Structure 1
């Protein structure tokens, strides 16, 4: 049973990152998994419940990544973050923040709150990484680490969207420039 639930969340994650939250139905999940809509409803009574599971999965992935990177120098930590975005780019996906943000005003309140929480935690982590790297002389930039974190994350989000239109070189150019600007 857990396997079916994980497959539902995995497919929902893929659909959100390729089509958007409001652009898929439970039928889009049930058909490829060869299950009934009722099976999806069994695990996730509402689409918001499914959306929360996808966001929670992304939070867990991010927390695991951060835990694995924390012993690395800050420039390497940031490179790992960029690599996680590159992975999405290579699969023609956007990240969960980039996918759900355009739909934000139509999302249920609990999903909005969780998305805000996730976004704030990503920005806080990048800010801390930049602060620590700046103190060690790894990073050099004007302005505050918090403002630079916003620029980095927003550029990474936008790079995935632009890559859909302009090709993967858009991501490559933006991510390279982001690092060049602070190293």
Structure 2
């Protein structure tokens, strides 16, 4: 793995574990045992690093969408929820959950990338819900996008809450999201 990719990986892990404002290039340099100047060579600013991290997640979302494209709506939803569950490993939360709180402190380029990631996620989820409702596997009374927003809100809130309460709280909310869709 190239140094640039390692920096992105460590930055991503730090954001998802301790938050954007709690880490610095110095933290990354200590972990990688390199000088801060090496990080600045690849990312002159923290904003540029965060944009690259969000772009990595956009890429991962696109890969996920291709991987599940031929599955049923229910299978897609199960896999989507599993991604959020896996993202919680080692006390981390999703990149959306980790960065949403700091949205207004970011400069415009980061805000734009974060909006793009959120919109792409919501659009895919909305289409998956619509597909499931059309084929009769999902049941809910509201507009598709509203339901998608409610699911994302529940996931982001649950992953944060489970840091304070019990990790099984996230699992229960995840299972409830699915069971309410397919009842």
Q: Indicate whether the TM-score tops 0.5.
A: yes
Secondary structure in 1 matching 2:142: coil
- Give TM-score scaled by structure 1 length: 0.97
How many residues are treated as equivalent by the alignment? 182
1:23 Cα shift? 1.1
Structure-1 residue corresponding to 2:180: 181
Deviation by residue 1:51-103 (Cα, 9 ceiling, x = unmatched): 00000001111110111001000111011110011012233111111111111
RMSD: 0.9
- Give TM-score scaled by structure 2 length: 0.97
Structure-1 residue corresponding to 2:10: 11
Aligned 8 A contact 1:89 1:168 in 2: no
CA distance in 2, matches of 1:56, 1:31: 24
CA distance in 2, matches of 1:23, 1:58: 20
CA distance in 1, matches of 2:77, 2:59: 18
5+ residue gaps in structure 1? none
Query: Moved runs in structure 1, 4+ residues, more than 2 A?
Result: none
Deviation by residue 1:27-70 (Cα, 9 ceiling, x = unmatched): 00001101000000000011100000000001111110111001
1:12 Cα shift? 0.1
5+ residue gaps in structure 2? none
Structure-2 residue corresponding to 1:55: 54
CA distance in 2, matches of 1:153, 1:82: 10
CA distance in 2, matches of 1:136, 1:73: 9
Aligned 8 A contact 1:77 1:129 in 2: yes
CA distance in 2, matches of 1:91, 1:151: 26
Structure-2 residue corresponding to 1:23: 22
1:21 Cα shift? 1.0
